[in-house]
């Protein structure tokens, strides 16, 4: 591996670690990120950390202020509502484009949701976040609309820290599993409009739950 390839690999690793910290709730909206501390924690020099922070900033997740540094971007109420408006439009079209799911596909989604329930019982929020992502994007992939799925992923990334915060509420965690079960029931019957309605309710719970947190960004 060339030096440039090795450097790029380190940057990619650091970007992934920053996303993990956002997803786990370790980095919340408004949280300052200290380059020296992050480099020390990850055992790398500051150069790949600087480049990784620039990349994550370009995704719209971080805010940079000259002579101050990077922090996790706070979304205003309007901005977060816009992300969920876009998700509603795109995810609804994906669901409507789904073919009848096979028993194998349904069983795979049921297995992911069962693992999600286990993570809930063990209070493993990090695993819940990952399994929730796996459930949604395993389903989305079945519509064979890769460009739309990529755009949904971009929007999900913008709200990663907010969705992680939501999962720290016990009633919210249990609601996620129940609504996935309702979604699977609609999909098993190939009731796509019913699936859209369930997904709308499922999606709207996050901004409704986080109203007090969002007001801090206005």
pLDDT for 114-126, tens place per residue?
Answer: 999 999 888 887 7
Chosen domain end from 23, 52, 72: 72
105 Cβ neighbours under 8 A, 6+ residues apart: 142
In total, how many domains does the chain have? Answer: 2
The answer to pTM > 0.75 is yes
CATH number of domain containing 102: 1.20.120.530
Chosen domain end from 23, 44, 72: 72
Q: By the 8 A CB rule, do 11 and 38 touch?
A: no
3-17, 82-96, 98-112, 143-157: range with lowest mean pLDDT: 3-17
Judgement on whether residues 90 and 193 belong to the same structural domain of the protein: yes
Q: Which one of 19-33, 61-75, 134-148 scores highest in mean pLDDT?
A: 134-148
Domain of 16, in residue numbers: 3-72
pLDDT for 1-27, tens place per residue?
Answer: 455 555 678 999 999 999 888 877 788
């Amino acid at each position: 591996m060339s030096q440039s390839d090795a450097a790029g690999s380190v940057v990619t690793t650091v970007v992934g670690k920053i996303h993990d910290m956002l997803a786990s709730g370790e980095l919340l909206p408004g949280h300052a990120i200290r380059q020296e501390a992050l480099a020390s924690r990850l055992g790398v020099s500051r150069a790949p950390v600087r480049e990784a922070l620039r990349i994550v900033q370009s995704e719209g997740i971080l805010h940079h202020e000259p002579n101050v540094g990077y922090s996790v971007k706070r979304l205003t109420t309007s901005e977060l509502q816009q992300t969920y408006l876009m998700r509603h439009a795109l995810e609804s079209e994906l669901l409507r484009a789904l073919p009848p799911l096979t028993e194998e596909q349904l069983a795979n989604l049921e297995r992911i949701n069962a693992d999600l329930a286990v993570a809930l019982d063990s209070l493993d929020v990090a695993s819940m976040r990952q399994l929730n992502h796996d459930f949604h994007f395993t389903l989305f992939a079945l519509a064979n609309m890769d460009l739309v799925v990529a755009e949904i992923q971009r929007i999900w990334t913008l709200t990663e820290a907010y969705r992680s915060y939501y999962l720290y509420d016990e009633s919210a965690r249990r609601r996620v599993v129940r609504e996935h079960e309702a979604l699977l029931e609609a999909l098993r019957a190939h009731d796509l409009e019913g699936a859209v309605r369930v997904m709308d309710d499922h999606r709207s719970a996050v901004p409704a739950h986080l109203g007090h947190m969002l007001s801090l960004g206005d």
